[in-house]
A and B are shown apart, each in its own frame.
Chain A
Amino acid sequence: MKVFGEFIKGLWRENPTFRIMLGLCPTLAVSTSVENAIGMGSAAAFVLVGSNIFISLVRKIIPDKVRIPCFIVIIATFVTIVELMMKAYAPLLSRSLGIYVPLIVVNCIVLGRAEAFSSKEPVFKSILDALGMGLGFTWALVMIASIRELLGSGSLLGFTISKHFEPPLFMILAPGALLTIGLLIGMFNHFIARSRSRKTDG
């Protein structure tokens, strides 16, 4: 049960986007369409799982003083793998994600999990943690992207929903992203504060 908790915490209570607010740059930049969001989410999840496994395996060998550079090298390696694979097998996706794929390397979630979790915990737990965080990141991205795509281009996953709706363009531009995430974080805060106050009342 406790092991399962490592997986589930990334989805809700410690959701990387809405709760810890790490890795926001790619979240906002690529969430213009659901397709991009899924691509970016799975790329980041792959890097997270790969680097978490690797760091957890070598955690006893790495000297404490140089751990951050070591983590960065490991993460950068996995990012390069994703970058090249995406260029080879999904060139369209790679073009629409642009510089945000190499930018996974400076995504704070990946380094944050390495530092806070996988450098201290055994491999199996690290995998679960990475999967949870990766999935949490992906669903947050998909959620933001579906709101923006629905309102901004009147479609979902590329399918037009209604022809009679004139979409406000600004939702798929930069301001729409900032507005959506601001309101969503506010909503999350509200729900969590409410469930907490209920618990203390009962």
Chain B
Amino acid sequence: MDSISAYISIIISTVFINNFILSRFLGLCPFIGVSKSTGPAVSMGIAVTFVTTMASILTWTIYEFVLIPFGLEYLRTLTFILVIASFVQFAEIVIQKKSPALYRVLGIYLALITTNCAVFGVAVLNIDMFFLHGKPLAGSFLKSVVQGFGAGAGFTLAMLLMSGIRERLEFAEVPRCMKDAPITFIVASLMSLAFLGFSGFKI
């Protein structure tokens, strides 16, 4: 069993050093599309965090107990995308039935998540990082879950920061051809430059 510091370092690494949006470019579409105001941005972040955590649990379990025993590792891409898509659909139905209030907040964002690269990316990354030659490394299940949660948390942080900046940007005088997406990319570039500062951390 690893010490607790290993898990903390995974969280810090996925939230700050290798932030999913700003350094791995996963989940850029919602980052540009849904970051116009703070409310929806945070809802999207929470929905993504929920899905990345659950997807990490599900895909790890399926990889370890179904794909490896039957020698089907090459079906990873196909299996994971199906598992994620059906889980998102399932979660949407359950939330709609059990808690209409929550559904009103998260509903449309859940539907958008199916093809979100961040979710699929974290599932593939977990397998690449925590499995060696078809065998799970020590504590790999918990590490995968923590990494899934960290990825979502990092996504939420970046969304929150970006939406705050964009709310102010509405009143700025931007050249017409740079409005909306282009200026957002420039802002993201500056944010990413700031996040590069974290890469000096040794953990």
A interface list, Cβ under 8 A from B = 21-22, 24-26, 28-29, 68-69, 72-73, 76-77, 79-80, 83-84, 98-99, 102-103, 105-108, 111, 170, 173-179, 181-183, 185-187, 189-190, 193
Contact B25 A193 (CB under 8 A): no
Q: Which of B16-46 contact A (CB under 8 A)?
A: 22-29, 32
Task: Indicate which residue in B74, B78, B176, B193 contacts A175 across the interface (CB closer than 8 Å).
Answer: B193
With A105-B81, A174-B22 as contacts: A84 and B74 at CB distance below 8 Å: yes
Residues of B that sit less than 8 Å from A by CB: 22-29, 32, 74-78, 81-82, 85, 115-117, 120-121, 124-125, 128, 175-178, 181-186, 188-190, 192-193, 195-196
Whether the Cβ atoms of B182 and A189 lie closer than 8 Å is: yes
Tell whether, in the assembled complex, residue A103 and residue B29 are in contact, meaning their CB atoms are under 8 Å apart: no
B189 touches A185 (CB 8 A): no
Contact in complex: B78, A25 (CB < 8 Å) = no
**Residue of B at shortest CB range from A189?**
B177
**B residues less than 8 Å from A107 (CB atoms):** 117
Query: Which residues of A lie under 8 Å from residue B124 when comparing CB positions?
Result: 99, 102-103
A183 to B121, Cβ gap below 8 A? Answer: no
Distance (Å) between the CB of A176 and the closest chain B CB? 8
Bound: A186/B181 CA distance, A: 8
- Chain A contact residues, majority secondary structure: helix
- Rounded to whole Å, the gap between the CB of B38 and the closest CB of chain A is 21
12 further A-B pairs in the complex, CB-CB below 8 A; given A103-B120, A105-B81, A175-B193: A28-B25, A68-B85, A77-B78, A99-B128, A102-B120, A103-B26, A106-B116, A108-B29, A182-B182, A182-B186, A186-B182, A193-B177
Can you list 20 pairs linking A and B with CB atoms under 8 Å apart? A25-B26, A26-B25, A29-B25, A72-B85, A73-B78, A80-B78, A102-B76, A102-B77, A102-B120, A103-B117, A105-B81, A174-B22, A174-B192, A174-B196, A178-B188, A179-B189, A181-B185, A182-B182, A183-B182, A186-B183
How many angstroms from the CA of A73 to the CA of B76 in the assembled complex?
Answer: 12
Taking CB atoms, residues of chain A closer than 8 Å to B184 are 182
Contact between B85 and A69 (Cβ–Cβ < 8 Å)? yes
Contact: B185 with A106, CB < 8 Å? Answer: no
Nearest chain B residue, comparing its CB with the CB of A80: B77
Residues of A within 8 A of B181 (CB): 21, 182, 185
Chain A residue at minimum C-beta to C-beta distance from B18: A174
* Nearest neighbor of B122 in chain A, beta-carbon distance: A99
Q: How far is the CA of A175 from the CA of B189 in the complex (A)?
A: 4
Chain B residues closer than 8 Å to A21, beta-carbon distance: 32, 181
Q: Per DSSP, are chain B's interface residues mostly helix, strand or loop, or mixed?
A: helix
Q: Are A179 and B120 in contact (CB under 8 A)?
A: no
Asked whether B29 lies within 8 Å of A178 as measured between CB atoms, the reply is: no
* Distance in angstroms between the alpha carbons of A187 and B193 in the assembled complex: 22
- Which residues of the other chain, A, contact B193 by a CB distance below 8 angstroms? 170, 175
Inter-subunit contact B121/A80 (CB<8 Å): no
Which B residue's beta carbon lies closest to that of A178? B189
> In whole angstroms, how far apart are the Cα atoms of A90 and B81 in the complex?
25
B176: chain A residues at CB < 8 Å are 193
Known: A106-B120, A108-B115. Contact between A185 and B182, CB under 8 A? yes
A62 → B minimal CB distance (Å): 16
Find chain B residues with CB under 8 A from A174 CB.
Answer: 22-23, 25, 192, 195-196
